[in-house]
Structure formats: structure tokens, C-alpha cells
């Protein structure tokens, strides 16, 4: 069975940057599971998976625009340190969840901090970067009607319903 819209795909992957540094990988025996065709994974990787079959392995380089997008310098802001609840503990590399005026949540990363101000970057940490994936497809199956109704995968690696 090949990968197509409304099929459930399980795949193992290693993600590297252009300097072959590993940024992320699926855990040993824990492939990523997703519902194909719904934008659950980055568009460039979803497009590369289309039509492939279980057992196949391939490498793909995804441009930033088809991954986490280009960087937006407007998302880098300097804010007063005392805006943070536990302001003494704020350090470079920490991440916070914020919500903007529209109620959209966004993860920001602290990229600079001095006595008075903290620089936060609302870009995705992988924004502006081409991403290299080494992929092995573990399983391809049809989604159940319930999965299609929910728009996500059930079972191992799927959506955890309470």
C-alpha cells in the first residue's frame, strides 16, 4: 500500500542541518505516526512521502519555506525583565508560551538577557533552515472512519484520548 491522502503512516526519521548535525530523530522503536494529507507534518516532508511504500527509505532536503518558514525579524523583541513572573531565573535558551492579541499561542525562546531586559525570539527554532531528513517508512494503512472523523490517528503513537 502506498502513501496517499487519508492513510496512516508510521515512519522513523533522522533530521540533520546542512552541517550534518543531528537536530532530532524518532526514538528507537518509536516511529512518528501521522494521518497523511492533513498538514500534520511540515509540507515539504509530507510531499516527499506521497506515493512511497512501507519498507522504503529515502533522503530529502526540505527548503525552509516548506519546513518551518523563513525567519521573521519582527518576532524578535526586547522586553523588560520584570515582566517575567520569576524574573531572576530567566536565562538564555529558556522557552515560554505566550499568547498574542488574537489569542494565538506561540513559543518564544530567550536569546539574550541582561540586568534590565530580556530578548525573546518568537520564530520557530528551526525557522530559516533547510532540513535534511533520512526517512524509513515502517507502516502504511488506511485510516479508520473514526480516525478520519477526528482528523488524527488513534492507537500506538496516535492521539491520546482521555
- Looking at the DSSP bridge assignments, the partners of residue 137 are 11
Minimum separation from the CB atom of position 144 to Zn ion (A): 10
8 and 143 Cβ atoms separated by less than 8 Å:
yes
151 and 35 Cβ atoms separated by less than 8 Å:
yes
Contact residues toward Zn ion (CB under 5 A) are 150, 159
Residue 124 or 150 having the CB closest to Zn ion? 150
How many CB atoms sit inside 10 A of residue 91's CB? 9
Alpha-carbon distance values, 85 to 78, 81, 88, 92 (Å): 16, 9, 9, 16
Which ranges constitute the DSSP H helices of 24-89? 43-49
Residue 120 or 143 having the CB closest to Zn ion? 143
Residue 69 or 158 having the CB closest to Zn ion? 158
Phi, psi at 76, each rounded to 5° = -95, 120
Residue 19 or 149 having the CB closest to Zn ion? 149
Minimum separation from the CB atom of position 156 to Zn ion (A): 14
Residue nearest to Zn ion (CB): 150
Minimum separation from the CB atom of position 145 to Zn ion (A): 12
Phi, psi at 44, each rounded to 5° = -65, -35
Minimum separation from the CB atom of position 151 to Zn ion (A): 8
Residue 77 or 144 having the CB closest to Zn ion? 144
Amino acid at each position: 500500500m502506498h502513501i496517499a491522502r487519508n492513510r496512516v503512516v508510521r515512519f522513523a526519521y533522522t533530521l540533520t542541518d546542512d552541517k550534518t548535525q543531528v537536530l532530532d530523530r524518532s526514538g528507537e522503536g518509536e516511529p512518528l505516526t501521522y494521518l497523511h494529507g492533513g498538514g500534520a507534518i511540515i509540507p515539504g516532508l509530507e510531499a516527499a512521502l506521497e506515493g512511497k511504500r512501507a519498507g522504503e527509505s529515502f533522503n530529502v532536503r526540505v527548503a525552509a519555506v516548506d519546513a518551518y518558514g523563513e525567519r521573521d525579524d519582527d518576532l524578535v523583541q526586547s522586553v523588560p525583565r520584570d515582566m517575567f513572573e520569576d524574573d531572576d531565573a530567566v536565562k538564555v535558551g529558556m522557552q515560554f508560551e505566550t499568547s498574542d492579541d488574537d489569542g494565538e499561542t506561540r513559543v518564544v525562546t530567550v536569546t539574550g538577557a541582561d540586568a534590565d531586559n530580556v530578548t525573546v525570539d518568537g520564530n520557530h527554532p528551526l525557522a530559516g533552515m533547510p532540513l535534511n531528513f533520512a526517512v524509513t517508512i515502517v507502516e502504511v494503512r488506511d485510516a479508520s472512519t473514526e480516525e478520519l472523523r477526528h482528523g488524527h490517528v488513534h492507537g500506538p503513537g496516535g492521539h491520546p484520548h482521555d
